[in-house]
Amino acid sequence: MVFFVRTASERDLAKVSELLSETWHATYDALYGADKVSEITARWHSVPALKARLERKDSEFVVADDGKAFAGMGYAGMAKDRPKTAILHQLYVLPRYQRQGIGRDMFAELETCFPDANAMLVEVDPRSDAAVAFYAAHGFVKVGETKHTADDVSGVPLHVYEKPLGG
């Protein structure tokens, strides 16, 4: 199977919502509990929530698509409070497609979408070993710590990673 990375469209959002629900349960049930993950994903990954991201200016929303199914999705946007900085908000690959270069390909596409940015930031749960390893392998360096500010996971520690960009 060959997956192509392309910009998402509104007709993709129901599939993206399902992908995020499955991926979040696989990634976070052990950390937050399945019920909390279900609540979060119902709110954050609903079609209306995804549509708002798709329509945001200064952002890019991509999917990895083989014509039949999606293997992953990614979303990044320019930071509102930091000039010349892009933020990688989401980069998820379904567990059955991980370790095949799909995350790398989506990330490579997102990196090129912000020519005015000189850095990209991502916040990672430090307990997610796979995510930490992925970002380290792709040139990110830990630059700080923060906490989730969103409702159901408020206060959960996050590590902030940064990667210089060419812009």
Average pLDDT estimate for 120-144: 93
For the chain, how far is it from start to end, CA to CA, in angstroms?
Answer: 33
Q: What predicted TM-score, i.e. pTM, was given to this entire model?
A: 0.91
Please name the residue that has the structure tokens 């970002």: 135
pLDDT digits (tens, 9 = 90+) for 3-62: 999 999 999 999 999 999 999 999 889 988 999 889 888 988 999 999 999 999 999 999
Query: pLDDT tier at 73 (50, 70, 90 boundaries)?
Result: very high
> What domains does the chain contain, in order, with CATH numbers?
4-164 (3.40.630.30)
Percentage of the chain beyond pLDDT 70 is: 95
The CA distance from 167 to 146, in Å, is 26
* Chain CA centroid to CA 94, Å: 12
Q: What confidence score (pLDDT) does residue 153 get?
A: 57
Distances (CA, A) of 41 to 23, 25, 26, 81: 10, 9, 12, 26
pLDDT of 133 higher than 90: yes
Percentage of the chain beyond pLDDT 90 is: 75
Query: pLDDT tier at 150 (50, 70, 90 boundaries)?
Result: low
